[in-house]
Amino acid sequence: KQTYCDRLVQDTPFLMGHGRLSEQQVDRIILQLNRYYPQILSNKDAEKFRNPKASLRVRLCDLLGHLQRSGERDCQEFYRALYIHAQPLHSRLPSRLALQNSDCTELDSGTVGRELSDR
């Protein structure tokens, strides 16, 4: 089963794509993680990832790397924040499309009921 950390590794190139996430969206995601989960993003981390001197791309790359290293729950909370602040983008994530495609192929095999109850 794909973990949130696996998904983040898979989605990082997509999220880093030019113009995918605006500065405001990235700031809101950072603020949400920092405010609700200071153990995921400390104030110092949040300041670093919101540093206006660094380019958005560098900050986003650092943030995603930080989350990948910090574990499953942190990655899951990132996806929750992404869903809240960038829902259209969230629905186009490569990992989500892969999940949807794998759900479609499993419809025939009868595993879909079991999959839904696991979620």
pLDDT tens sequence across 25-71? 999 999 999 999 999 999 999 999 999 999 999 999 999 999 999 99
Structural domains counted in the chain: 1
Residue 112: inside a domain = no
**Which residue, 84, 56, 82, 78, is CA-closest to 66?**
78
The runs of H, that is alpha helices, within 1-119 are 4-15, 23-36, 43-49, 56-70, 72-85, 87-91, 94-106, 112-118
Number of CB atoms found within 10 A of residue 81's CB: 21
In the chain, the percentage of residues whose pLDDT exceeds 70 is: 85
At residue 108, the pLDDT reads: 40
With a cut of 70, say whether residue 106 has pLDDT above it: no
Residue 15 maps to which CATH number? 1.10.533.10
Residue 110: inside a domain = no
Residue 77: inside a domain = yes
Residue 107: inside a domain = no
**Which residue, 86, 88, 100, is CA-closest to 7?**
100
Residue 40: inside a domain = yes
Residue 68: inside a domain = yes
